[in-house]
Structure 1
Amino acid sequence: MCGIVGVIGTNVAAPILYEALRRLEYRGYDSAGIATLVNGHIERRRAEGKLVNLGAALERAPLSGTTGIGHTRWATHGAPTEGNAHPHGTSLVSIVHNGIIENHAELRAELEAEGSVFSTETDTETVAQLVDRNLRAGMAPREAAHAALGRLHGAYAIAMIFAGHAELMIGARHGAPLVVGFGEDEMFLGSDSLALSPLTRRIAYLRDGDWVVVSRTGAEMFDPEGNPVPFEIRQTALAGGSIGKDGYRHYMDKELHEHPLVIGQTLRRMIDPATRRVVMPPLPFDLAAIPRATITACGSAFYAGLLGRHWLESEARLPVDVDVASELRYRDAPLSAGGLALLISQSGETADTLAALRALRAGGQHVLSVLNVPESSMARDSDMVLETVAGPEICVASTKAFTAQLSVLACLAIATGRARGTLSAEREQVLVQALLDLPGKAAELFDLRADIQHVAAIVADARDVLYLGRGAYFPVALEGALKLKEISYIHAEAYAAGEMKHGPIALIDRSVPVVAIAPSGRLFGKTASNLQEARARGGRLIAFTDAEGAAGLRGIAEALVVLPEADPFTAPILHSIAVQMLAYEVALLKGTDVDQPRNLAKSVTVE
């Protein structure tokens, strides 16, 4: 989950590295650091806390040198202190690392027995000390790095520089992403192409297990045995200037306002406006022949998968299993031969989802991924990718990527229903029209900000909040509760509304707001009954609904947020945006760090 970057060039490296780290800070912000080669010697600046603290350190004591590495940290081994901040190293080598070295304790004991002196609690320093030992034994940097890499167990992406070698940087990956950037008389390493997009559009990805030797004029890649391997230089689609706040107070506010655009962009990839039909790219398997689907993801993407299951089962009549990726890979569940593995991820680098992908492929499943980064590790391991056109999402709490995922899953359900013969042409036209209406409906939600702020004032004073939803709205309740926890630090739990009386109702009193996602429809009466039960126990009821639902909830709910009328097929997407907006307004009242909540990072590349 950490971010790493490296540069060899002709310009002073530290400002380039700092700007690249700014684009990687979503990966972790417990501490940050930069090391450069100054007159052949390694010098570094590090700081605890957010990247701005490193910026202040660099202002007090600037770093020169045109070769360097940088790191922004999400702490795993060792507290988030300046002493444990990367880069780590010795007088001979400096290293930045994303991931976990699983055998670091064994290696550390071996090195300490030989006289190595450690100064941190991190697993990363073990790598540096291992390379240092090899250098002191007379190995050249390339040999020393290769020998050290062969000793490591775990997931990692690593970049290292060497004293006295200004024209050399070595990188390696095993289970965590690493990108090589090709410039004019300069070269780069980075955790992802977003970090490098202002610097170059020409990139190459290391295959898992490979390592790379980088000079100012090019790169050589090798497999774990040291054999040269070919690589492809690609043009990344990311634009260098795409991460500004554009006048919004927070990235989250900006990204919330991008929902209509992102939904529209994503749908344009999948719907032919002339025929009003979903158009799928050529698939290497037959949707009609799929006996069963398995959806897996983490966090908000998992909740998107729950709603995707609802659509696939109701419209395509396809049996679907859904599991969080960190559980699926260990369940050893039986899989239907020729089944579909449907993976959902914003980054395409989530460690648990990648591991689940490999397990599902080993189980004979076709692999289809819904991703926001089509150049990611998950994309390269999939049979086919359906892209969410959300653009860079910088706020750690996912917003626009979630609704883009839902837009893709809705289209996939339509296409699957058509292929399986369960969806008539007339029904497809109705569903497609509902999707085409969605961007405009989403834009109308921002007219409800005053109503959502009123509700936020009720929620902000609470210690505990319950979210309720039925059917397609249960995943929306889960998303709302997660967002509130993530950015306001208020404890929130989501339940299927019918489950409230099976335990959670014991928690309800006047201090516990109950947020219900309860639009009109065939399940409305049952949800309204659940709310009556909560009201009888003193619960403060808040309902997100539509005009018809509002008429039935007046006198029951203390506060109502009435959303625009929408087809039941797409209404859950609108309600998802609304509950995200509520979390944002509560966080503003609480004064928390909206974009960078404590203890979190966006791209979870460690287990």
Structure 2
Amino acid sequence: MCGIIGYIGEKDTQQVLTTGLRKLEYRGYDSVGIAVFNGESVQVEKSKGRLEELQQQLDQAPVLGNMGIGHTRWATHGRPSDENSHPHTDDKQEFAVVHNGIIENYLEIKRELIEEGYTFRSETDSEVISHLFSHLYSGDMVTTIQKVVQRLEGAYALGIVSKHEPNRLYAVREASPLIIGSGEYEALISSDIPAVLEHTRDIYILEDGEMAILTKENVTLLQTETGRELSRDMFRVNWDMEQAEKNGYDHFMLKEIHEQPAALLKTMTGRFNKESMTVDFEELQWSDEFIAQWNKITIVACGTAYHAGLIGKHVIEELTRIPVDVEVASEFRYRRPIVNEKTLVIVVSQSGETADTLAALRQSQHLGANVLAITNVVGSSIAREADEVILTMAGPEIAVASTKAYTTQVLTFYLLGIYLAQRKHTVSEDYSRQLLQSVIEIPSKIEEILEHSKGIRWYSESIKDATSVFFIGRGLDHAVSLEGSLKLKEISYIHSEAYAAGELKHGTLALVEEGTPIIALITQDEISEKMLGNIQEVKARGAQVLGVATEGNVNIWEYVDQSCYIPCTHSAVTPLLTVIPLQLISYYTSLALGNDVDKPRNLAKSVTVE
């Protein structure tokens, strides 16, 4: 969940580290710190809070040197504080370590080290690592790293500098992401690619059970357990740094909302034939016989990706008539899921590093299932380990609240549903063509919504002081309402819940009182009469209702207090449009409240711990 950076080279290390940490703050921003080897000793500067607070310290007292490590923290063990900030050092300050992950057996190790006379200054699990290095150092860093990681249980990506090895930076990985950047007379480590792009586009992706030795001249990869040197091709990053910058927008989230038409077009490109109106995934090596054997599909994901999976369930079941389950990844691995060789498991993760989803992938493969990954990051752990991969083309998503990653995932489910239906012949050619044409038109229709969003901003101002907001919908609208509610609560901090509208009378109506804001989605024609009845139920209790409907639906005027319209489209693909006003409502509400839109409290972008 945290972000780590490391550098060795000829540049100002402090500057390289702080610039890299700014690119990694989406991974956590409870505290921040750097450690630089100044030629004689390891100098550490760290503080609670965001990078700006550390920068003030460094402006007063810079740390000089050509090798160092940095860390931006999302707190797990221990509250945000100066003491709990990384990097952590040993008692003699001969070793400094940054850590992303969780050490599950840290209490046992900590007790042993205290008995040996070591002094602990923090509440973190990570501090045991720096003391272990001091305790186990044998005069050789590679063998010491091997001894240290043998003691560790859990997940870790580590960056290590030592007074004993002034010309080498070390990294080691197990179940937490870590990449190595190789430049001219410099090398870097990082949790994510954007932090190194200013210096190099040549990347090694470190695998579990591997370590790296970095010098100015070269990078050496080793298998951690044996010390055997590894040979691996470098990965060349082909996207531009500009994609990760704001480009004139006030916030990354607003920029990423506006990038959705382009991201959807890129995700579609090369995956359908406009003449035959068929979908083709060249990356999927499935025969008709292989597809025919599936008696169930299980979608596994977390958070926003889980909500995308709920829409995937509707789409795939409707088009293929294969039963689809949608599972929360954090629950999946702790029961006995009914998954076997006749199950297709689809794991969905924006980062491709989501710890729970990765564990579910491995468990599904162990049970014999074929696993398809839908992810945005080539070379990620999930992309590498899945049997098949569909890459979404959202580009870098920096804001913690996901927008374009979500819609590209949803789009992928539409394309996959049509693809499977055409392979299985479960819908008519006319219907699949009609549906695909509607999907193709979605990007231009999103642009229409974005061009007319002033009313949405006004509505956000009107709900900013609400204590609770409720979202209601039926069918596909209910799946979208869950995502809309999550967006609002995670960046505005207003209590928000989404309910299947038909369930209101089974308890939820007790929460509706005079003035309660309710956002009602009404885009599914076949159940619109039922939905209007549910709106009447909440209006009778005093609710203030915003209705989100397709253009031309004048029936809602007499039922709602305000209305918001999306362009007309096939009712099956409305989720790709309906979510756009909900994203904007959450953005403008957070803005009206003065919150940090891109970095909501207590959250981080990539969840790499359970």
* TM range, smaller chain: over 0.9
The equivalent residue for 1:430 is: 434
Say if 1:317 and 1:112 are closer, same or farther in 2 by CA, change over 3 A: same
CA displacement at 1:45 relative to structure 2: 1.5
The equivalent residue for 1:119 is: 121
Is 1:393 aligned with 2:397?
Answer: yes
CA displacement at 1:598 relative to structure 2: 0.3
The equivalent residue for 2:541 is: 537
The equivalent residue for 2:236 is: 235
Amino acid at match of 1:403: T
Higher mean displacement: 105-114 or 419-428: 419-428
1:352-363 matches, cutoff 5 A: 352-363=356-367
| Contact preservation (8 Å) 1:288, 1:419 | no
Amino acid at match of 2:338: P
| Contact preservation (8 Å) 1:248, 1:254 | yes
Alpha-carbon separation, structure 1, partners of 2:521 and 2:571: 13
CA displacement at 1:562 relative to structure 2: 1.2
| Contact preservation (8 Å) 1:520, 1:546 | no
The equivalent residue for 2:496 is: 492
CA distances 1:289-308 after superposition (whole Å, capped 9, x unpaired): 32211101000000000000
Q: What runs of 5+ residues in structure 2 fail to find an aligned partner?
A: none
Alpha-carbon separation, structure 1, partners of 2:54 and 2:454: 38
Higher mean displacement: 182-191 or 488-497: 182-191
Q: What runs of 5+ residues in structure 1 fail to find an aligned partner?
A: none
Amino acid at match of 1:587: S
CA displacement at 1:164 relative to structure 2: 4.1
The equivalent residue for 1:93 is: 95
Alpha-carbon separation, structure 1, partners of 2:190 and 2:465: 42
Alpha-carbon separation, structure 2, partners of 1:197 and 1:158: 20
CA displacement at 1:473 relative to structure 2: 1.1
| Contact preservation (8 Å) 1:36, 1:65 | yes
Amino acid at match of 2:607: V
CA distances 1:257-315 after superposition (whole Å, capped 9, x unpaired): 11111111111142223433211124233333322111010000000000001000001
Alpha-carbon separation, structure 2, partners of 1:605 and 1:19: 22
The equivalent residue for 2:378 is: 374
The equivalent residue for 1:559 is: 562
Alpha-carbon separation, structure 1, partners of 2:594 and 2:276: 48
Is 1:184 aligned with 2:184?
Answer: yes
1:421-570 matches, cutoff 5 A: 421-549=425-553, 551-570=554-573
CA displacement at 1:155 relative to structure 2: 0.7
The equivalent residue for 1:412 is: 416
CA displacement at 1:404 relative to structure 2: 0.6
The equivalent residue for 1:572 is: 575
Higher mean displacement: 53-62 or 234-243: 234-243
- The alignment partner of 1:313 has SS state of helix
| Contact preservation (8 Å) 1:284, 1:383 | no
Higher mean displacement: 50-59 or 474-483: 50-59
With normalisation by structure 2, the TM-score equals 0.97
The equivalent residue for 2:585 is: 582
- The alignment partner of 1:150 has SS state of helix
Alpha-carbon separation, structure 2, partners of 1:569 and 1:556: 24
Is 1:281 aligned with 2:282?
Answer: yes
The equivalent residue for 1:31 is: 31
| Contact preservation (8 Å) 2:478, 2:500 | yes
| Contact preservation (8 Å) 2:477, 2:524 | no
The equivalent residue for 1:247 is: 248
- The alignment partner of 1:155 has SS state of strand
CA distances 1:315-352 after superposition (whole Å, capped 9, x unpaired): 12121110110011112121243311101111000000
The equivalent residue for 2:595 is: 592
CA displacement at 1:202 relative to structure 2: 1.2
Alpha-carbon separation, structure 2, partners of 1:520 and 1:359: 37
The equivalent residue for 1:298 is: 302
| Contact preservation (8 Å) 2:284, 2:389 | no
Amino acid at match of 1:411: L
Identity of aligned residues (%): 39
The equivalent residue for 2:62 is: 62
CA displacement at 1:209 relative to structure 2: 1.9
- The alignment partner of 1:565 has SS state of coil
- The alignment partner of 1:461 has SS state of coil
The equivalent residue for 2:14 is: 14
CA distances 1:356-395 after superposition (whole Å, capped 9, x unpaired): 1111111111111111101101000011111111110010
Alpha-carbon separation, structure 2, partners of 1:242 and 1:261: 12
With normalisation by structure 1, the TM-score equals 0.97
- What's the Cα RMSD here? 1.3
CA distances 1:415-473 after superposition (whole Å, capped 9, x unpaired): 01111111222112111110111011000112331221232133212101111111111
CA distances 1:163-210 after superposition (whole Å, capped 9, x unpaired): 142211111111111111111121111112222222211111222122
The equivalent residue for 1:175 is: 175
Is 1:166 aligned with 2:169?
Answer: no
- The alignment partner of 2:571 has SS state of coil
Amino acid at match of 2:133: V
Is 1:200 aligned with 2:219?
Answer: no
CA displacement at 1:160 relative to structure 2: 0.3
Select the residue among 325, 338, 342 that pairs with 2:342. Answer: 338
The equivalent residue for 2:43 is: 43
Higher mean displacement: 205-214 or 120-129: 205-214
Amino acid at match of 2:55: G
| Contact preservation (8 Å) 2:243, 2:396 | yes
Alpha-carbon separation, structure 1, partners of 2:16 and 2:181: 13
Say if 1:481 and 1:424 are closer, same or farther in 2 by CA, change over 3 A: same
